[in-house]
Amino acid sequence: MDVTGEPLTITSQRKGSVHRVVAVGELDLATAEVLQRALLEVDDGAEIIVLDLSGLTFIDSTGLRLVLDLNERYGGKADRLRVVAGSPAVERLLDIVGLRDQLPLITP
Amino acid sequence: MNTDDEPVRGVDPRSTSVDAVLRARDRSLAPKSRLAVAVFIVILGVAAVLAVTSHEIYDHNEDRLLNLRVRELGLVLTAAVNATETPVASAAAFANATEGSPAKFREFAKVYVGPHRQFSSLSLWSPSSSTSSPLAFVGSSPVIQSEPGHAKAMLAATRLGRLAVINELNSSAGPSIGYAFASGDYVAYARQKLLPSRHSRLQANSAFADLNYAFYLGHTRNSANLLVTNASTLPLRGPTASELTPFGSSRLLLVITPRDSLGGTFFERLPWLILAFGLGIALAAAVLTDRLVQRRRRAEDLARSLDHSVAENQRLYAEQRGIAQELQHALLPEALPALEGLEASVRYLPGTQGLDVGGDWYDVVSLEPATVVLVVGDVSGRGLRAATTMASLRSTAVAYAADGDDPGPILEKLNRLVRSGPHDYFATVLCARVEIESHRVTVASAGHLAPLVLDGAGARFVEFRAGAPVGVAESSQYVETTITVGEAATVIAYTDGLVERRGEVLDTGLERLRDAALKAVADPLELLVAHLVEDLLQDENSDDTAILAVRWRD
């Protein structure tokens, strides 16, 4: 069973009241755990959480699920989430899956 | 609404709790490891051997030292012997030189005789005279004259130039030694008194201070021959060394035994020290060994129960997978309802990524008149959970479809269904109503990929605007798009496992699908679907794939 592929690198930084999570690489079933762990550390005290996906070269439904989970928790009425799509892979997926209107997207 | 797939938090009698195993072992009277006992015995044995050796060496050394001492003392005695011989010999020589003058002899002898002096009496005898009385004497009367036989023997014992030593230890006048020396015609006879107790009064710092000794006249350790001793009981106890020193015509036997250790008390105690030390080390080593053995046993136990757990987990996992697959199989029957004017072909291929089955599904609902509703969906997540939530979505979709709802409303209701639950999953769904006669297809998508249409005009994906996957937004609008397809058209709906590949943009996969479909457009439907699977799916597919294809029979 070959699950090779680019790994996922997550960098997390807190600046003032903004917590920024940057994902670079491939976000799929194999690497989702990495992002999940990073998201667990998201400071609940931060006012705004920015999920920067512009560095993703691949994202599948597992990755999408993580993003939607985050949206469930911090988006919607809470309005504390911002998502940077940026990369072609992510943009395309969001289009296909009709999530453009659902996620609080911002330009990078 | 969602089935709980958490494991039952009860006691499983089959499970081996690692802690329980270890606790049980600690509680039981675990036998001391044989290795620890062996280590103890070996070290103690070594210590014993060392102690014995040390003891032997010590004894040997003591003997050696004792023998050295006795030899030294022998030399001292020789000097003492001379000190005894000289006055007597001088007296005899003097008498010889003064022709036996009694007065002169007495004058000469005065020096040597007295209570604090060497001899108790010194007398002059003439062997040629037949009388058994001395010619002169100084000091107490030489008793020997009252023992005529003795006197004669004494005179006979003298030989020219040699001191005769006469044993008078059993004399009625008290024990003494007689010394006789002949010179010319004269014999000087001295007597030395001994203490009746024969007990010595030698000073503490003399050469004999650390010894118990006994002097004997003659060469036997006979108490009758005892001259002097400082021991309270005879014969001397313990290791002894003796030295026989010539003493005139007799011998002086010195027997010594040490009072304390000659070589020092440390070496005397050393064997015990070694034993004690060895015992200590043996105990410590045994305890340490035992502890190490226990620790090792615990580690082995732990490893064994971990192995057991791993094996158990693997078994359970395989079992669960088996169940999931069976469920999946049961949920997605391969037999489709017979459709008038439409043929259908389906495929479900579970992902191979070692995890359980996913949540892809397809449904074909046949309605009157000549209408078919197709549903293809993909529940996020994996496992038994995904499969069972998929089942509830399916039944809901089928129910509303059968009830005559349009694709848009069906999806809206599905969304409401999912939102009414714990909001912990979402699903992409494609719903299409196919009007067989009119060749019209009305499609609505909740985040699902567009179906491919193959007809006279080529191969194209239906263009529509997808709404959000069900379960994501509180309320979602699902726009319906209607297309008209050509004669003998084929409509292929699928899930993303068919076109998604790592390291690619989605469009690449979509194009690949399009090309493969075009290539096989002339094939019978089943064959077409088979080709798609062959061309698009790699050997190792992490995601599930479902394919639902319908073709107008014309």
In tens, the pLDDT along A34-74 reads 888 888 777 677 788 898 988 888 887 778 888 888 888 88
CB B221 within 8 A of CB B255: yes
Residues of chain A with Cβ-Cβ distance to B506 below 8 Å are: 89, 92-93, 96
Q: Does A97 touch chain B (CB under 8 A)?
A: yes
Q: Does A79 touch chain B (CB under 8 A)?
A: no
Q: Does B429 touch chain A (CB under 8 A)?
A: no
Reference A94, options B499, B466, B500; nearest CA is B466
pTM: 0.52
- Contacts of B491 by beta carbon, 8 Å cutoff, 6+ apart: B374, B432, B434, B441, B451, B452, B453, B454, B485, B549, B550, B551
What pLDDT was estimated at residue A4? 45
Q: What is the ipTM of this complex?
A: 0.77
Q: Does A57 touch chain B (CB under 8 A)?
A: yes
SS3 B6: coil
Parallel, antiparallel or unpaired: strands A81-84 and A48-59: parallel
What pLDDT was estimated at residue B194? 80
Please indicate whether residue B14 or residue A12 has the higher confidence score (pLDDT).
A12
What pLDDT was estimated at residue B21? 55
Distance, in Å, from the CA atom of A7 to the CA atom of A70, rounded to the nearest integer, reads: 21
What pLDDT was estimated at residue A68? 84
Q: Does B435 touch chain A (CB under 8 A)?
A: no
Distance, in Å, from the CA atom of B66 to the CA atom of B174, rounded to the nearest integer, reads: 33
Distance, in Å, from the CA atom of B454 to the CA atom of A15, rounded to the nearest integer, reads: 53
Q: Which of A6, A57, A60 sits opposite B500 (nearest CB)?
A: A60
Chain A nearest CA to B37, separation (Å): 52
Query: Along the 554 residues of chain B, how does pLDDT read in single tens digits?
Result: 444 444 444 444 444 555 555 555 554 445 567 888 888 999 999 999 999 999 999 989 988 998 998 888 888 888 878 888 888 888 888 888 888 888 888 888 888 888 888 888 888 888 776 566 778 888 876 666 566 666 777 777 676 667 888 877 777 777 888 888 888 888 888 888 887 777 776 655 677 778 888 888 888 888 888 888 888 887 888 888 888 888 888 888 888 888 887 888 888 889 999 999 999 999 999 899 888 888 988 999 998 888 888 888 888 888 877 776 676 666 666 667 777 889 999 888 877 655 555 678 899 998 888 899 999 998 876 666 676 778 888 899 999 999 999 999 999 999 998 888 776 778 999 999 999 999 999 999 999 999 999 988 889 999 998 888 998 888 888 999 999 998 889 999 999 889 988 777 788 899 999 999 999 988 999 999 999 998 888 776 667 789 999 999 86
What pLDDT was estimated at residue B442? 96
Closest residue of A to B543, CA-based? A29
Q: Which amino acid, B74?
A: G
Residue B355 φ/ψ, nearest 5 degrees? -100, 180
What pLDDT was estimated at residue B531? 93
Residues of chain A with Cβ-Cβ distance to B445 below 8 Å are: 98
Closest residue of A to B451, CA-based? A96
Residues B474, A96: C-beta atoms closer than 8 Å: no
Among B429, B464, B472, pick the best mutation site for testing chain A contact (most A Cβ within 10 A). B472
Distance, in Å, from the CA atom of B432 to the CA atom of B417, rounded to the nearest integer, reads: 19
Q: Does B451 touch chain A (CB under 8 A)?
A: no
Residues of chain A with Cβ-Cβ distance to B412 below 8 Å are: none
Q: Which amino acid, B212?
A: N
CB B283 within 8 A of CB B40: yes
Q: How many Cα atoms occupy the beta-carbon half-sphere of A14 within 13 Å?
A: 11
Q: Does B510 touch chain A (CB under 8 A)?
A: no
Residues B542, A3: C-beta atoms closer than 8 Å: yes
Q: Does A28 touch chain B (CB under 8 A)?
A: yes
Residues of chain B with Cβ-Cβ distance to A65 below 8 Å are: 380-381, 425-426
Chain B nearest CA to A49, separation (Å): 19
